[in-house]
Every structure is written in C-alpha cells, then in structure tokens.
Chains A and B, each alone.
Chain A
Amino acid sequence: MIFDNLKGVILGTYIIRRVLYMLLVLIIVTAIVFILVRLLPGDPILVYLTQQDVESLTIEQVAKIRHEFGLDRPLVVQYGKWVGGLLTGDFGISVIRQTPVTVDVKQRLPITLHLGALALVISLVGIPAGVIAAVRRGGWLDQLVTTLGNLGVTAPSFWLAIFLIYIFGLKLGWLPIFGYTSPFRDFWLNTREIILPVFCLAVPPIALMMRLTRSSMLEVMRQDYIRTAWSKGLKERGVIIRHGLKNGLIPVVTMMGMSLIHIFGGSVFIETVFNIPGMGRLLVEAVRSLDYGVVQAVIFIMAIMVMVTNLLIDISWGWLDPRIRYK
C-alpha cells in the first residue's frame, strides 16, 4: 500500500519533470520554426499585393498593410506575438488567403490524422513479422521478411505511390487514383480512396517496426530467463509470447514516435501524389507560395504531436516494464 503510494508520487514527479522538459524543447522548436520561416525569400506583403492592384497603392498604404500583419515590428516581438497566439489556439493569419490559419488547420488536420492513425495501426503488422523472422532466424521466412523490410525503408514513398496507382488504378482499375471524400459523406468511396495512400504511408513504419522487433527479439531470446522458460518445459508459444515478446516489445514501443515522424514526413509526398487536402499538401502549397503563417503552423503542429506521443510512450514504458525506475 505504502509502496503503491510511493510509486504514484514518483510517477507524478516524473511526469511533471517530463512535461517541463517538453516545454523547454517546445520553446526551442518554436524558435527554430520561426527563424527558419523568416529566412524564406521574398516579401510576403508583395506576394499578397500582387493579387490586388499594386499600382494604385501608395507607399503609406503598403506600410499600413504591413503594420496590420505585424510584419514591421522587430523579430523578437513578432516571435512573442506568435507564441502568445499559439497559447490561445491562434495560429496567425495566412498572408496569401487572408484567412486565419486555424481555419485551414481545422479542415486539414483531421484528414492527415485519419490517414496517419490508420497507417500507425497498420504499422503494427511489423511486430508479428519481426517475431517470425527472429524465431525462424536464417530460414527462408526470415530472409523474405528481412528483404521486404529492407525494401520497405528504401522505396521512395512518392515512387511507391505512383507505382501502386499505375498497377491498381490504371492497369487493373480497382481503386480511384486520387482524391479524398469525407467518410461521413460517402464511407465506401472514402475507403476505396484511402487504401493506397494509407498503405504507402504505412510501409516505412511497418519496415521499421519489423526490423526493430526482429533485432530486439534476437537479443531477448539469448537471455537467461528464456533458457529457464525452455528448461522448465514451456511450449514454444508460451516462451516466445509470454517471456520473449513481453520483453522484446519495450524498445519497439519506444520507437512508435519514430513511426509517427515517418508518417508525417511521408504525408507530404503521399498527399501531393494522391491530391489529398491534408496537412502535408498544405505545407507544400504554403512553402511554394511563401505563406509564412501556414508553414510555421504546420511544422509546429507536427512537431508538437510527435513530442506528445513521445511523452505518452515514455510514461507507458514503466507500465510495460516494472524494472524501469522513473527518474
């Protein structure tokens, strides 16, 4: 009882420390994003003005517009204003479209999360594949799984997408080749549309999970307690799942954040190829049209999601492995 309480307190302080640490990294992240985006060439005001009548505006009027966007203030002030806005859920204004970035994010984030979450779930397929490869080390199944895994991390995702579009969309005509319909409007069309993109997003994390599980299982299966499990007469299944996998999974779970990074990185390409209006394509569009606010917001949101995932994983670590002390 006392021990339970103590553990709770230790876990509590650990979480507080981790959250504080995350905030520190977050400040660095926002600073990096902000500085990077300020390096973008060209004057966003000019980009904005080309849509209006440049000739008819006086210098004073241009200065006034610049002032409205806050682009005439010192960088530190702009940074402070941006971070202050973030705290209240305000991501700034898209200079190009003159709409709040929050509107874009609200439309697009669910789409990327929809595809990303499915891809993350599918990536778990890599775990049993890795276990099989490790258990049958050196056999043909191991060779097959390992080779597929190696190909999975090396195939450029945009090329894989184009290849699958060619086979399943153009040659066989089974699946639509681009677009995204809301699942609430037409669930079946949506399902058919997202099969290829989700698969393409899932391939690198599947391969990653597979490789990690394999090497982690190989390591675990050499441990003394596995020999004990064998020698006390347990069946193969029990040894591998109850004793091997339970320990072998720990490093794999900690790499889930890595999978998310792969998925976000991939979404830039996959959403471009399949013409899906998600965060990845939003970023590509914003980078091309020099839309400061949007680039900042997208990169910031992706980074914060990776960080929160990593935090949750680190906390759940101890739940999986009682040997770990939170410190």
Chain B
Amino acid sequence: MSADSNQYTAITEIPARVNEFRRFCKVFFGRPVVIFGAIVVILFLIIGAFPGLFAPCDPLEADFADRLLQPGAMGHLLGTDAIGRDLLSRLIYGARTALMVGVVALSMSAIIGTMLGLIAGYYGGATNSVIMRLVDALMCFPAILLALTIAAALGAGLTNVMIAIGIGMMAPYARIMCGQVASARENDYVLAARSLGAGNLRIMFLHVLPNCLPPMIVVMTMNMGITILAEAGLSFLGVGVTPPTPAWGSLVYEGYTYLRSHPFLSLVPGLAIMIVVFAFNMVGDGLRDALDPRLRGII
C-alpha cells in the first residue's frame, strides 16, 4: 500500500513545471498550421496596434486624379478605390478597427457571459433556471441577427457595434461556464474553503473562477475570429462602423459595385478577414490541444 503511494508520488513529483511548459510548447507548435496561425495573429496584432507605421498613405485622403487605379500602380500596391483612396492603407487601418471591435466586444461578451454562467452554475436551483432559460432563448437566434437588431437599435458607429456584438455573443460563454462551475463547485477545495469560513463571493471568485478559466481562454481565442467576422458582417450590411472609418466589411461592400472592372477592391479585404479569422481559429485549436486535450469534444 505504502509502496504504491510512494511510487505514485515519485511519478508525479518529477519537476512538473518545466515539463508542463515544454509539453505545452511541443503540442502547441507541433502543427505547422498552428504556427502559421500564430504568426498571422502576431502580425495582425502589431499592424492593428500601429497602423501608422505600415500604411503608405493616409487611408482617408481622397485623390480624384488617381481614382480606381488597378493594383500595382505607382505608389498604390493594391490600387485605389472610387474616390482615389489607397486600398492597402485602408486595409491596414481596417485591421485597427477589427482589432478594436474584436478586443472590446470579445471582452464584453466573455465577461458578461462568464459572470452569468458563474452565478448560474454556483447557485444552481432557481437562479440557474432563470439564467439558463434566458441563455436558451438567446441561443435560438443566429447571433448575427441579434447583433444586427441591437446595432440597428443603437444606431451605427464603432461603440455601438462593440456593444451589439458583445451582447449578441455572450450566450455560449454562459452555457460553457455554467457547466464548468457546476462540476468545479463539487471539488474538495470548495469544501475546504467553506470550512475555513469563506463566503460565497470569495469562493466564487477566488476558488471556482480561476479553476474554470482555461477552457474560457480557449473559447475566447476561437471567438475572436467569430467576433471579427460579426463586425465585418455588420459593416457590410451598413449597420456597423460608419463610412469614412475603414472597416474590412464596408470595404467589401464599397468595392462590390466595381466587381466587374476592379475585383481586387472587394475580394482582397474579404481575403484579409478570412485569413485573420482562420488564424485565430487555428491558434484556438492549438491552445485547446495544448492546454487540455479533454476539451476536444466540448469546445
């Protein structure tokens, strides 16, 4: 008996931290497509944070002499749009819009959703029923329709788009978090904390929440792509970011009119959306496999 438990501790107490990190890196960087995703995500973050360093021209400066230039024209690598604005610069500044909306809307939906899920899962019973029925109802709509209606209700604009997407996409976080918390609160450390006299709030935020965070981080990484996609969709429909500000969705919409003669104007911004969303999804996949392969079926 004691020999067995000694053996057990001997196996688990090999310098776990280092191995854990190595294992993480090995799994995470094991697939080329995840490495590709990570590189694209890093580039997107840098370009989105400092578009001024990369853009060759002012994205808002119209030049009617140079309108509708084909790609490869002097000084305009990707050509210009209907009023002579440089497409490459608008694309680069569009990354900033996507990043801003992505980060803010994502944080908002994640925080609201996680809190609702935490409360529902921790208290259970009637609280759980009320919150989860609300979540069920929200999940009957396509998230984009919900965001579309909220965006229309609030009016177009950067802030309103963030709010619309943030509220529209909170339901999945609540559902996943609720399941996580419902199992986490049965753990001994919760009992231990309670027996030491910890209150509900303390247990919820200091003990249960941190233990439920890893899957939420994976979901957030994957949802970053969906959030960017939602922003592009709203901007495409004209209820998103208002016109002079470059946003990838509205670039696709504006360029669509000139599809026959200038296909680049709408196809290139769409390609940018796709590559970035793909990259975030791949990084999310990689994180999930590296952090906790058991989540494969759940997320």
Whether A40 lies near B152 (C-beta < 8 A) is yes
* Min CB gap B129→A, angstroms: 9
Q: In the complex, what distance in Å separates the CA atom of A41 from the CA atom of B156?
A: 11
Give every chain B residue within 8 A of A269 (Cβ-Cβ).
Answer: 233, 236-237
Give every chain A residue within 8 A of B281 (Cβ-Cβ).
Answer: 150, 153-154
* Min CB gap A193→B, angstroms: 18
Residue of B with least CB distance to A267: B142
Number of interchain pairs (Cβ within 8 Å): 131
In the complex with contacts A261-B142, A299-B141, A154-B134 CB distance below 8 A: no
Give every chain A residue within 8 A of B273 (Cβ-Cβ).
Answer: 156, 159
In the complex with contacts A150-B278, A268-B237, A37-B149 CB distance below 8 A: yes
Whether B153 lies near A37 (C-beta < 8 A) is yes
Cβ 8 A contact of A288, one of B136, B137, B238, B282 = B238
Contact stretch, chosen from B48-56, B79-87, B99-107, B256-264: B256-264
Whether B145 lies near A283 (C-beta < 8 A) is yes
Mark out the residues of chain A between 245 and 260 whose CB falls within 8 Å of any chain B CB in the assembled complex. Answer: 251
Whether B274 lies near A159 (C-beta < 8 A) is yes
- Size of the B side of the interface (Cβ < 8 Å), in residues, is 46
| B42 CB–A CB distance under 8 Å | no
| A36 CB–B CB distance under 8 Å | yes
Whether A156 lies near B274 (C-beta < 8 A) is yes
**Scoring B residues 233 to 270 as 1 if CB is less than 8 Å from chain A, else 0, what string do you get?**
10011110000000001001000100110010011001
Q: Which 8 A-B pairs have the closest CB atoms?
A: A159-B270, A265-B142, A39-B153, A28-B137, A287-B152, A154-B277, A154-B278, A303-B140
Q: Which residues on A are within 8 Å of B, measured CB to CB?
A: 24-25, 28-29, 32, 36-37, 39-41, 147, 150-151, 153-156, 158-159, 162-163, 165-166, 170, 215-216, 219, 251, 261-262, 264-265, 268-269, 272-273, 283-284, 287-288, 290, 295, 299, 302-303, 306-307, 310
22 contacts between A and B (CB under 8 A): A24-B133, A28-B134, A29-B137, A36-B149, A156-B236, A156-B274, A158-B233, A159-B266, A162-B256, A162-B266, A215-B297, A261-B142, A262-B142, A264-B142, A265-B143, A265-B144, A268-B145, A269-B233, A273-B256, A284-B148, A295-B149, A303-B137
Q: A156-B229, A162-B259, A269-B233 are in contact. List 12 more A-B contacts (CB 8 A).
A: A25-B133, A28-B134, A37-B153, A150-B278, A150-B281, A151-B278, A159-B273, A162-B270, A165-B259, A166-B267, A303-B141, A306-B140
